[in-house]
Amino acid sequence: MIRKLIRQMLAAQILSALTVSLCLLIDNIMICRFLGVEAIAAYGLANPILLVIGAIGSMLAAGVQVACSKSLGSGSREETNRGYSSAIALMLGISLVLVLAVLLLRNPLSTLMGAGREGKLFDDTRDYLTGFILGAPGSMGALVLVPFLQMAGQSNLLIVAVLAMTVSDVVLDLLSVLVFHNGMFGMGLASSLSYYVAMVIAMGYFLSRKCVFRFSLKMVTLRKIRELIVGGVPTVFTMASSVVLVFILNRILLGVGGSEAVAAYSVILTLGNASNCISTGMGGVSLTLSGILYHEEDRTGLRDLLRTLVRYAALLGVGMCVLVAAFAPVLVGIFIPETGAARSMTIQGLRLFALGLIPCCVINALKSLYQGTGRVHLTEIISVGEGAVLPALAAFLFSRFLGVTGVWLYYVVGEVLALVCIALYVWKKKGAVSLDSQDFLLLREDFGVKPENLMETEISSLEDVARAAQAAGDFCRKHGQSDKLANHIALCLEEMASNTVIHGFGEKNRNHLSVRVQHKGQRWVLRFRDDCRAFDPVSYVPSGNREDSLGIRLVMAMADDVRYTYSLNLNNLTIKLTAAE
């Protein structure tokens, strides 16, 4: 079930990341082709402001993944709704403040960015900032709503929203330059409106009755806002490291290759960000699922998650590397159509960049897993090392011997060194060299339950239900529990699992049901997870004496605590019983 879920989420995350990168790529091409060199320079000068908006939105999105995966893992619907309400309120507040601040200060900000105080460069920079900042609520809102769509299992809607954003951006850009002739203001406004298109499509779900999240101003709390911000801090480290690295590499390239090398790096960075959609998607899936599984104390699930992600990271990373290397001349030709030294230099740099995509995918999966499992400081250290220190060091050293070619090695060498450093850290912590995914999880020794106190099984038929119920009763008795408690546990498993198989499984029997029974002191916990249609037995209040509800009522009467959540297109039911002392 974990593998199926990863495939579904990964496809949506990669497409989402790719589409956003393509929007920026399209804007670059449109400005270059239709508005000229001065406009490109203005876009570059405005870029730091755009990065700040993106960084805040990305921070909130990561905070949502950390905070809400925690509440989903613990089965608390109320805490999840607090996270949802607080995230929406915080996003709206920050984005509106940014809109007002940039509109009021757009002239001094343009000067501060290096556009001077007057002239065409100043006007273009100011106009682009004005048009783009109007879409701040839309751009930040789109980033914040993405993890909620994923957690609600609305991957198809997410794909539709990002595709609509891309198409509308292209259409609006063309209308701006060919019909309305709005210059840089029109280009910024086109991006703003495209973000709102995506927001409107997504809001169709969040305003519907089937939405699993509920917004309420009463649920907006300072505690939850702090949790969202703290959870997203590692993302700020990542983005800040990227900014520092760009500054350092520009300085090195100016020294060894001049302005042509800096221009080549700009193209490589633009195309590289688009090709990095796989590693971005890998990180998003890892962060969400690791948080849920960690707070369920599911060691087996985390191990399977890491194994599957590393396998996909290797396969997809190699595939993207081959594609980028093979089509490098075509991709570079979009930006530098004339043959010459600059084009050759850029093609070489892009091909060397492509080699780093493979280790980057693996690192992103590990880094996000550590963030999701509470190792925030380790995530921050990896972000700074991988994002700035190691690649900058590699570029400086290799440029001494190989010139510009040595600088292009910054990405692959930096990523490989970061992966080696993570491995060395794990081996030091474990006291032995190992490639076992269990060791790379870096979980506490007392995390979860011991194997002898855990029973896990997959159910696909009523025959499996009967066997699992018998095994659960025997499992309970082996731990010295009474026949009464053993019978209660077996009955709970039989009633809830058979209800899922009979009423939830489709005719082609392609659904899955996993059951965990765990013993923790005096507490026994049963967790049911299936990919059938949504059904909440906790809120289900049967009328009369209908036979199909008797089993549910019986289980509710025997249990000390029952919690249900629906997330990632999965029903998650947790039943707790206490052994009599």
Q: What are the start-end ranges of the H helices in 299-356?
A: 299-326, 328-335, 341-355
Report pLDDT digits (tens) over 175-208: 988 888 888 898 888 888 888 998 889 888 888 8
Same domain, 101 and 147: yes
57 pLDDT exceeds 90? Answer: no
581 pLDDT exceeds 70? Answer: no
Same domain, 291 and 373: yes
Tokens found for residue 104: 């009021």
pLDDT at 180: 84
Same domain, 202 and 345: no
Same domain, 254 and 393: yes
Report pLDDT digits (tens) over 287-327: 888 888 888 888 888 888 999 999 998 899 999 999 999 99
Distances (CA, A) of 172 to 25, 30, 95, 211, 457: 15, 11, 23, 31, 53
348 pLDDT exceeds 80? Answer: yes
Q: Is residue 292 in a domain?
A: yes
Same domain, 426 and 543: no
pLDDT at 548: 57
Q: Under DSSP, is residue 43 helix (H, G, I), strand (E, B) or coil? A: helix
Cβ 454 vs Cβ 516: under 8 Å: yes
Q: Under DSSP, is residue 449 helix (H, G, I), strand (E, B) or coil? A: coil
Amino acid found at 556: M
Sole residue written with tokens 């221009």: 263
Q: Are strands 523-530 and 454-459 parallel, antiparallel or unpaired?
A: unpaired
Q: At 459, which CATH number?
A: 3.30.565.10
- Cβ-count burial 126-158 (b if 16+ within 10 Å, e if not): bbbbbbbbbbbbbbbbbbbbbbbbbbbbbbebb
Q: Is residue 127 in a domain?
A: yes
Same domain, 45 and 192: yes
Q: What is the band of 540 on the pLDDT scale with cuts at 50, 70, 90?
A: low
Q: Is residue 6 in a domain?
A: no
SS3 content of the chain, % helix, strand, coil (to 5): 75, 5, 15
Distances (CA, A) of 344 to 141, 218, 251, 274, 338: 40, 59, 21, 20, 10
Same domain, 100 and 22: yes
Instruction: Show which of 190, 220, 250 is a domain's final residue.
Output: 220
171 pLDDT exceeds 50? Answer: yes
Q: Is residue 2 in a domain?
A: no
Q: Which helix (H) or strand (E) holds 530?
A: strand 523-530
Same domain, 363 and 480: no
Q: Is residue 80 in a domain?
A: yes
Sole residue written with tokens 């707070």: 295
The residues, ordered by sequence, that sit 6+ positions from 399 with a Cβ below 8 Å of its Cβ are: 252, 255, 256, 406, 407
From 282, 361, 294, select the one nearest 321 (Cα to Cα). 361
Q: What is the largest CA-CA distance in the chain?
A: 87
Same domain, 138 and 271: no
From 90, 103, 97, select the one nearest 132 (Cα to Cα). 103
Mean pLDDT of 410-438: 90
pLDDT at 257: 81
Mean pLDDT of 316-342: 86
Q: Is residue 470 in a domain?
A: yes
543 pLDDT exceeds 50? Answer: no
547 pLDDT exceeds 70? Answer: no
Tokens found for residue 503: 């009423």
Same domain, 139 and 244: no
Into how many domains does the chain fold?
3
Q: Is residue 5 in a domain?
A: no
Give helix then strand counts, H and E, for the chain: 22, 5
Q: How far does CA 115 lie from the centroid of its chain?
A: 35
For residue 325, count other CB atoms closer than 10 A to its CB.
16
Burial of 562 (0-12, 13-18, 19+ CB in 10 A): buried
Same domain, 328 and 355: yes
From 438, 149, 156, select the one nearest 288 (Cα to Cα). 149
Instruction: Show which of 395, 420, 446 is a domain's final residue.
Output: 446
Instruction: Show which of 220, 245, 276 is a domain's final residue.
Output: 220
Q: Under DSSP, is residue 339 helix (H, G, I), strand (E, B) or coil? A: coil
Residues in the chain: 581
Expressed as residue numbers, the domain containing 291 is 236-446
Same domain, 208 and 240: no
What is the overall mean pLDDT for the chain?
84
Give pTM, 2 decimals: 0.78
527 pLDDT exceeds 60? Answer: yes
Q: Is residue 1 in a domain?
A: no
Mean pLDDT of 255-281: 82
Tokens found for residue 270: 């633009």
Mean pLDDT of 459-469: 89
Cβ 187 vs Cβ 127: under 8 Å: no
Q: How far does CA 458 lie from the centroid of its chain?
A: 28
pLDDT at 545: 47
